[in-house]
Amino acid sequence: MTKLILLAVLVLGVIGAIFAVVLYIVAQKFKVDEDPKIDEIAEVLPGANCGGCGKAGCRAMAEAFVKQGNMDGLRCPAGCDAVAQKVAEILGCTAEAAEPQVAVVRCGTCHNGSLNKSQYDGLQDCAFASSLYAGANGCAFGCLGLGNCAKACQFEALHMDPETGMPTVDEDKCIGCGACAKACPRGVIELRNKGKNNRRVYVNCVNTEKGANARKTCDNACIGCGKCEKVCPFGAVHVENNLAYIDYNLCKACRKCVAECPVGAIKAVNFPPKKEVAAPAAEPVAAPAPESVAAPVAEPVKSETTQN
């Protein structure tokens, strides 16, 4: 009996040893040389594979870093400066400090039913609804409220507000990867610099229709009057195609345009509320909220349709 066991151990041991040698030889022969830096950098990167850098994933980004040898034009938006610093140490170069960015929803409508002119019970997908019609509230440019952006966010930074039906960005969680901006079929979401103390001024509308038509569609629409362009002391505002746009690199957040805008389409966020200049800007945006008296009626309809 013991003989049998010994024989088995011996035979298996010899076979194992032979395979080990063969595998070692094969592994040496077909060895792929990979820069150890790739592994090191991949370790440092967040590993969320969000695609915000434009590469297929974090590993692909690490390969791109090593291939290029420096950090010019490559940036991990999820990791911000901390990660950039670590990558720079591994690569032995200097990291340029880049302004952190955040997703901004540039549309001032709401989908709680108070502005709806029709009911949509088709496929709950913005891209599809956009190919069918203008949208429940009639704007062919603005947010459709079906939440493709929220579905695209991997960092739980974007939620559909149940009260307004609009996407809201959690600024602490948003890393500026831009997945939501890509998911939006109408280009409502833009990546903008976070700004000093998170204070930002932006045009809360993307409607390029002529003023009168835009105004007919939505009370908060930019009418392209150009008052903001004239009042801006830094040349940061430009009106093109009946729509104002504030260049975040030039804007110094003085909020002169906010006070000047006749339709309240320019929004200033995260400013202390004490000064009276901030009031006209905050009002039109907050306006839908008090109307949420209608929400209890509208809400069940909404939740029903989202399940469809």
Partner 1 sequence: MGGVHPEENKISTQAVIEPFPVPEKVVVLMNQHLGAPATPIVNKGDKVKVGQLIAEAKAFMCANIHSPVSGTVSKIDVCKDPFGVSKPAIYIDVEGDEWMETIDRTPDIKRECTLTPQEIVAKLKDMGIVGLGGATFPAHIKYNVPEGKKAEYLIINAVECEPYLTSDHRVMMEHAEEICIGVSILRKALGVPNAYIGIENNKPEPIAVMKAMASKFEGIIVEPLKVRYPQGAEKQLINAITGRRVPSGKLPIDVGCVVSNVGTTFAVYEAIQKNKPLIENILTVTGKKIPSQHNYQVRIGISYGDIIKHSIGELPATTGKVISGGPMMGKAIYNLDGPTVKGAASVLVIDESEAIRDKESNCIRCGKCVSACPMGLEPYYFSGLVRNERFAEAKDRNILDCIECGCCFFSCPANKPLLDEIRMGKNKVRAMMAAQKK
> Least separation, in Å, of the C-beta of 213 and partner 1?
7
Alpha-carbon separation of residue 220 from 104, 109, 208, 223, 261 (angstroms): 16, 7, 13, 9, 11
> Least separation, in Å, of the C-beta of 121 and partner 1?
5
> Least separation, in Å, of the C-beta of 271 and partner 1?
35
> Least separation, in Å, of the C-beta of 277 and partner 1?
34
Q: Which is nearer to partner 1, 63 or 209 (CB)?
A: 209
Q: Which is nearer to partner 1, 139 or 261 (CB)?
A: 139
Query: Which residue shows structure tokens 């929400």?
Result: 295
Q: Which is nearer to partner 1, 70 or 241 (CB)?
A: 241
Q: Which is nearer to partner 1, 120 or 171 (CB)?
A: 120
Q: Which is nearer to partner 1, 101 or 109 (CB)?
A: 109
Q: Which is nearer to partner 1, 70 or 306 (CB)?
A: 306
> Least separation, in Å, of the C-beta of 308 and partner 1?
5
Cβ distance 222 to 203 under 8 Å? yes
Question: Which residues sit at the interface with partner 1, rule CB under 8 A?
Answer: 117-118, 121-123, 125, 127-128, 131-135, 138, 140, 209-210, 213, 307-308
Q: Which is nearer to partner 1, 40 or 125 (CB)?
A: 125
3-state secondary structure the chain: CHHHHHHHHHHHHHHHHHHHHHHHHHHHHCCCCCCHHHHHHHHHCCCCCCCCCCCCCHHHHHHHHHHHCCCCCCCCCCCHHHHHHHHHHHHCCCCCCCCCEEEEECCCCCCCCCCCCCCCCCCCCHHHHHHHCCCCCCCCCCCCCCCHHHHHCCCCCEEECCCCCCEEECCCCCCCCCHHHHHCCCCCEEEEECCHHHCEEEECCCCCCCHHHHHHHCCCCCCCCCHHHHHCCCCCEEEECCEEEECCCCCCCCCHHHHHCCCCCEEEECCCCCCCCHHHHHHHHHCCCHHHHHHHHHHHHHHHHHHC
> Least separation, in Å, of the C-beta of 273 and partner 1?
37
> Least separation, in Å, of the C-beta of 185 and partner 1?
10
Q: Which is nearer to partner 1, 10 or 301 (CB)?
A: 301
> Least separation, in Å, of the C-beta of 138 and partner 1?
6
Tokens of 252: 């110094």
